[in-house]
Amino acid sequence: MRFVNEYEMTRERFVKWSTANLFKQPVFYIFAAMFAVSIFAWVYFAQHGAAQRWETLAAFMALISLYRGVLYGPMAASKTYRLTKEHTYKNEPWICKVEVSDGGVRVSANGKMHAYVKWERVSSFMEAKSWFDIKVDGDSNQARLAKEAFTLGDAESFKEWMLKEHPEIPYKEVDPAWNK
C-alpha cells in the first residue's frame, strides 16, 4: 500500500461532509428573501386588521422558509447517519478505511471490504479543505479520504502522488459551497 486513510465516521463529520456551506448556496438567499417577506407580511397583516387566516399563512410561510432554508440539510444528514449506523453497522463504531495502491483503491468499513476500484474506473480527483474525493464511474460513487486521517503517508504527499502518477485523472477543487 502507498497510502492508508482510516477514520471513524462520526455524526459531526457526516453532517459536515454531506451538507453545503449555507451562505454559499444560491437557494439559501431565496429562502432568506421568502422569510423576510413572510415576516413583513405577518406584521403588516397584524397591524392592519387583516383576517386571521392571512396572519397564519404569513407565519406558516416564515416557518417553512426557516426550516427548509436553514434546518433541513443538517437534520436530514443527521437522520441518514443515524439510520445507516443503526441498520448497517448495528450501532457499532463506523470505521472507514481507504487504501490506495498502484493497482487501485480499496474501500472498507469495520474491516469488511466494500469495493476495490482499478484506476481505469476513476473519473476525477477532487480536493476540499479537509478531504479528498476519488470519484468513480462518472461521479456517481466516491472514496473520501480525510486529510488528517492518513495512517500511512500524508495528505500533501498523496496529492503530489496522485497528480504525478495519474495525470489522466482530472484534478479539480470542489464547489465552494462544499469546500469545508
Same domain, 71 and 104: no
Same domain, 21 and 84: yes
Q: From CA 51, how far away is CA 49, in angstroms rounded? A: 7
Same domain, 135 and 78: no
Q: From CA 112, how far away is CA 118, in angstroms rounded? A: 18
Same domain, 104 and 173: yes
Q: What is the DSSP string of 37-66?
A: HHHHHHHHHHHTT--HHHHHHHHHHHHHHH
CA-nearest of 7, 14, 21, 49 to 174 is 21
Lowest pLDDT segment from 90-94, 105-109, 121-125 = 90-94
Same domain, 101 and 172: yes
Same domain, 168 and 108: yes
pLDDT tens by residue, 53-98: 999 999 999 999 999 999 999 999 999 999 999 998 888 889 999 9
Last residue in a domain, options 36, 63, 89: 89
Same domain, 43 and 83: yes
Last residue in a domain, options 66, 89, 112: 89
Evaluate whether 17 touches 144 at the Cβ level (below 8 Å). yes
Give the CATH number of the domain where residue 119 resides: 2.30.29.30
Same domain, 16 and 76: yes
Same domain, 110 and 141: yes
Q: From CA 150, how far away is CA 17, in angstroms rounded? A: 17
pTM for this predicted structure: 0.79
Same domain, 108 and 129: yes
For residue 138, pLDDT over 80 is answered with: no
Same domain, 111 and 151: yes
Q: Given this model, what pLDDT does residue 38 score?
A: 97
Q: Given this model, what pLDDT does residue 139 score?
A: 62
Identity of residue 73: G
Same domain, 36 and 109: no
Cβ neighbors of 33 (< 8 A, separation 6 or more) are none
Whole domain around residue 22: which residue ranges? 12-89
Q: Which of 21-25, 125-129, 140-144 has the highest mean pLDDT?
A: 125-129
Q: From CA 78, how far away is CA 11, in angstroms rounded? A: 6
Number of C-beta neighbours around residue 99 at 10 A: 20
Instruction: Name the DSSP class of 9.
Output: -
Q: Given this model, what pLDDT does residue 119 score?
A: 94
Query: Structurally, how many domains does the chain consist of?
Result: 2
Strands 3-8 and 150-152: antiparallel
Last residue in a domain, options 60, 89, 118: 89
